[in-house]
Chains A and B, each alone.
Chain A
């Protein structure tokens, strides 16, 4: 077996040194009834080329986004990742290191995390960011719990524009909690969240651009929340939007959570992704997840360490801010390299190109007879109402080789009012030909 270094001869030698008669003697603590008492019936080991053939056969049964016009978004976005990013993250020293528990021999990872935290704090306009969480959805649930700890109040109000999966994750984390208020889905961009804020409110959670693509007014939300001693949690699922939209921190956000997948990370059918979280300086000690900080070594040289770990489970156990342990290190590295390559100039150009293509998409969709674009504002994503149920329509377009977006009903199956809605996204990878092909196919299907 190519991954196992011992020969039978060496195994026998080692058992001799140990003084064990055979391998089973090492498992003497295992109850006899449970040790090798079965036939797994699993296939035997295989050469590399046969495994590769098996996996390729599975991969070939999927329609890859690059195979044709592609407009699927709703929380995960197809962007170009520079070749440099994927090359660098596969270097042994990044790929096969672990959590930097020994800072003297982990300065690469630690300095990268310090740079990552700085980049995230800057794009969000916040004081500090952590070293990443699992993804945007779990990050949102963590933010909600953090707001409760900070305010010592309970009521949480989720905007109707919050991604339904994010809402569901918060609901699972706060199971049956009477103080969790989930507002009805708001495909038209309407919202009455400000009326919900009262003296018992810990936080309101607003996504912008929201699930349907609308841009939300954060400034008045922050003012209304702060007037009642509540916090504003801002959720961003398309982080590229921050190249063009005002930073949530500049508008009064107290905690910002984002899905960072768009920068540096492939679609990967939903994971691994990376959660970004940033907050105000005074809230650091209630922030979950790892933090990297600057310090000096015994010679006075600048160096970096994981810090403020008294918040974390391995020190605090049942009193920790979260049970979180692993972060999304390699995805954070990919994000940081891609963002480092873009820089301010590139990040802004990328965001503008996304918006530019989305305007073309919106205009083309508005020209399809029977289609109504619901958005007055958007960044790179929008919702349309069609004369037909969205699921069947999207399926027929897929058979034509066009992946036309997400039927809202896939995420809100019990809400009949959304049956005819489709969410579509454009990115820098969307071409004029893609948009024309979509508009033509949609026109034919609706004729």
Chain B
């Protein structure tokens, strides 16, 4: 086998298997190993011009881009796709990610030319339907959260967090309180929360969790001071628990002159059942790709509209839609705006279409039922597995996620990671592991409302069987897993120590000895 200087294989199937894989488990060379610079799958006329207008900046270097004809491209991407687990092919109980069913009506509607083939800067008079759609989506989001305003434009949840915290910063400055430089973040928070606060120059001050997995209002009060600008709290929290003292926390935060940013990643547990505005939040992002079923797409695109309380509404960014006598107006500028604009154009329109389609399909009644079913499913998993798995926070019913820790595996020599990898061999996507950080060896399971009782039963049966086997000492099954996936465990240390981040022609690299 020929190896390059970095010791990596130069092709697929370097051990045993052929490049075409076996049976229905495909293996597939890289695009650059199949295609070349002469092939193309797009027919375009080859035009010539006498004189260009490129002012001497024409390309002299080669692109060296491989091309494929249409049948080759079709096969390449279909074969690659089959090496992915997906919601449509099996349960995907990834905690904190809300991997629910993605209705195909959403996709069909997003592709109507009246939505997909309109330009963000064509005259506003020619896109009144698009503005109406944004207005309707805003109405649903504000109604479900009981808030005064919504900024639709953030591109994803973390971007929404950024915008929400920017609005809070602007509001504090407007009050003459720019000296507030501290943001409280509970230890159980998503990593994006402290990253967002730090991004804006805030000092992050952690708030410890109580033994029961919830935030202690007394600990919040103790941490509050005239330097605190805001608290960033996830509710339901990352342990899958509804914060029982959330109203008292909001009151304490407001009394101290700070704002309450709520991470809305877990809104799926409470939509239509609890309105965050009633709990005293000032800003909360809503992940349309989680709660409102827009596809996750292998890691995005997301969409993270932020709802805002009356206190923060004046600090919303542009653009937003406003009703006037002549129809809907798109406000793209505000003189001396505190915040301005967080993205070019108007945000993730394609995701707005899908989310509104989903909302109309469910209706207010269906959304509430979906939230309750999501909570029902998580509690069902917890109830079925708690006799064998360890439940770190048994005091409260769980919300939409069931959290276990690894103490039940202590004597087995099997880690949370090993356990998760064994789940792959049983046909399930693993749960979220080692998060939240407040629990040792966390396993965070979010089934969503999309799973039937039959699937949940099968999942619980498999989980219980795996746990029994681990405790019976069959360690090998776990440490060697997965064995049935397109790849065995991958060497992540090597990937980080000797980063190979793009393909190089093997000929360009000095060859090491066989």
In the complex, chain A residues 249-300 whose Cβ is within 8 Å of any chain B Cβ: 250, 259, 266-272, 274, 284, 290-300
With A295-B490, A296-B494, A413-B333 as contacts: A92 and B191 at CB distance below 8 Å: no
Known contacts A43-B364, A93-B82, A342-B41; is-contact A98 B97 (Cβ 8 Å): yes
Q: Does the CB pair B424–A342 fall under 8 Å?
A: no
B384: contacting residue among A17, A56, A62, A352, CB under 8 A: A17
Chain A residues with CB under 8 Å of B383's CB are 17-19
In the assembled complex, A184 has its CB within 8 A of some CB on chain B = no
A186 interface contact, C-beta 8 A: no
Chain A contact patch, size range: 35 or more
Q: Is the CB of B81 within 8 A of A108?
A: yes
Question: What residues on A are CB-neighbors of B108 within 8 Å?
Answer: 52
- Within the assembled complex, what's the spacing in Å between the Cα atoms of A293 and B120? 35
Flag whether A151 is at the interface (Cβ < 8 A): no
A359 to B435, CA, bound (A): 56
Q: Cβ of A359 and Cβ of B53 under 8 Å apart?
A: yes
Q: A137-B344, A172-B339, A325-B192 are in contact. Are A108 and B83 (CB under 8 A)?
A: yes
Q: Does A11 contact B (CB under 8 A)?
A: yes
Residue from B61, B119, B490 in contact with A78 in the complex, judged by beta carbons closer than 8 Å: B119
Residues from chain A with Cβ under 8 Å of B83 in the complex:
105-108, 111
Is residue B176 contacting chain A, with contact meaning CB distance below 8 A?
no
Tell me, rounded to whole Å, the shortest Cβ–Cβ distance linking A368 to chain B. 18
What is the interface size of chain B, counting residues whose CB is below 8 A from a CB of the partner? 213
Measured between alpha carbons, how far is A95 from B35 in the docked complex, in Å? 25
Q: Which one of A190-198, A226-234, A309-317 is at the B interface?
A: A309-317
Give A107 to B31 CA distance when docked, in angstroms. Answer: 14
Contact with A along B47-65 (1 / 0, CB 8 A): 1010011110111111111
Assembled-state Cα–Cα distance A323/B73 (Å): 35
CA distance A31 to B273 in the complex (A): 12
- With A48-B361, A352-B46, A428-B44 in contact, do A96 and B340 touch (Cβ < 8 Å)? no
Q: Which of A199-207, A330-338, A437-445 contacts B (4 or more CB under 8 A)?
A: A330-338
Q: Please tell me if B321 contacts chain A, counting CB pairs below 8 Å.
A: no
Cα-based distance from A66 to B146 in the complex (angstroms)? 39
What are the residues of chain A within 8 A of B35 when measuring CB–CB? 340, 343
Contact at B12–A302, with CB atoms within 8 Å?
yes
> Are B157 and A297 neighbours in the complex by a CB distance under 8 Å?
no
Instruction: From A42, A76, A322, A343, give the contact of B120 (CB < 8 A).
Output: A76
Q: Is B453 within 8 A of A3, CB to CB?
A: no
Q: Is the CB of A4 within 8 A of B366?
A: yes
Q: Please tell me if B8 contacts chain A, counting CB pairs below 8 Å.
A: yes
Please determine whether B132 and A61 come into contact, CB atoms closer than 8 angstroms: yes
Q: Is B159 an interface residue (CB 8 A)?
A: yes
A115 CB contacts on chain B under 8 angstroms: 30-32, 503
The smallest C-beta distance from A131 to any residue of chain B, in angstroms, reads 7
B interface footprint on A36-69 (CB within 8 Å = 1, 0 otherwise) = 1110111111101001101111111111111100
CB of A293 within 8 A of CB of B499, answer yes
Q: Which residues of A contact B46 (CB under 8 A)?
A: 349, 352
Q: Which of B238-246, B403-411, B469-477, B506-514 lies at the interface with chain A?
A: B238-246
If A105-B83, A118-B503, A163-B344 are given as contacts, then 10 extra A-B residue pairs at C-beta distance below 8 Å, sorted by A number, are: A2-B361, A28-B396, A40-B144, A58-B114, A60-B129, A62-B126, A96-B86, A112-B80, A122-B64, A172-B340
**13 contacts across the A-B interface (CB closer than 8 A):** A17-B380, A19-B383, A26-B372, A42-B367, A64-B118, A93-B86, A93-B89, A117-B501, A169-B342, A295-B494, A307-B499, A319-B198, A345-B40
Q: Which 9 A-B pairs have the closest CB atoms?
A: A343-B67, A59-B114, A270-B345, A330-B297, A61-B129, A42-B364, A270-B120, A92-B88, A272-B301
